[in-house]
Every structure is written in C-alpha cells, then in structure tokens.
C-alpha cells in the first residue's frame, strides 16, 4: 500500500487542503492481524475465543463476547462543496442519534466517476 512516510505526507497534504488545521491526527503502525482485530472490535480481548459471537453454533464460542451490530445509512451526492452552515447543520444532528453511535462520512468522487454521463447508468 505504500510506506509510512508516504502516508504521513498524504495526510499532511489532506489536512492542508481542508482550509483549517486538523484538531487531531493519529497514525499508528499495526500488523495485519492487529488491524483486523481493531476493525472487528476484538483488540481489547485477551483471548481469540472472545472474538466470536457467544454460543455453540459454528463460528461461535462459549466465551464469545461479540454482539450483532445493526445500522441504518443514508447517502446523497453533492456537485459542490457543502457550505459551513451545512456542515454545522449536519454536525448538530449527531447528538440526536439514539442507541448507538452516529457518524458522517464524505467521500470525494472524481476522475473517471465524473466522466460518466448521468444518463449512462
């Protein structure tokens, strides 16, 4: 995927383009297994047996500590930058999330994505 230095440079360039200094940036070196355990929510478990759903069914473990997660999502596309008032409005809704965590993700699509005609899909 690239070197750690290249990642640092890419994150610095991204932060510079946002228009305001980053309030927090965290880069950590992890092995593949550590990354997968972190992603799965198992990084704090002392044994691999805990990194399963509880029970005796295949793929489960009597010592399992994981639970099923559900989520709801919504998406939209923008053809210009979201103004500061729009960002504030989005962020103001996060505390209203009940029974879990909320997040907002912006994904910049460009390049080949922009070359496809809206009527071609």
Write the pLDDT tens digit of every residue in 17-39. Answer: 877 777 778 888 899 999 999 99
Please name the residue that has the structure tokens 């962020």: 91
The structural domain count of the chain equals: 1
Cα–Cα distance, 12 to 1 (Å, whole number): 17
Residue 98 half-sphere exposure toward CB, CA atoms < 13 A: 0
Is 97 a member of any domain? yes
- What is the average pLDDT value for the chain, to the nearest integer? 85
CA distances from 44 to 20, 66, 91 (A): 34, 12, 29
In this predicted structure, what is the pLDDT of residue 120? 83
The values of phi and psi at residue 53, to 5°, are -70, 145
Residue range of the domain that includes 84: 31-120
Please name the residue that has the structure tokens 């994505």: 113
Is 20 a member of any domain? no
The values of phi and psi at residue 4, to 5°, are -65, -40
Average pLDDT rounded to a whole number, residues 13-17: 82
Is 6 a member of any domain? no
Residue 12 half-sphere exposure toward CB, CA atoms < 13 A: 6
pLDDT single digits (tens) 42-74: 999 999 999 999 999 998 999 999 988 777 888
């Amino acid at each position: 995927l690239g070197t750690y230095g290249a990642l640092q440079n890419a994150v610095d360039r991204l932060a510079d383009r946002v228009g305001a200094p980053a309030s927090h940036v965290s880069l950590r070196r992890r092995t593949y297994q550590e990354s997968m355990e972190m992603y799965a929510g198992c990084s704090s478990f002392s044994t691999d047996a805990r990194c399963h759903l509880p029970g005796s069914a295949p793929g489960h473990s009597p010592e399992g500590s994981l639970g099923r997660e559900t989520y709801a999502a919504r998406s939209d596309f923008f053809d210009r930058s979201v103004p500061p008032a729009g960002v504030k409005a989005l962020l103001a809704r996060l505390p209203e999330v009940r029974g879990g965590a909320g997040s907002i993700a912006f994904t910049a699509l460009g390049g080949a994505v922009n070359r496809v005609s809206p009527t071609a899909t």
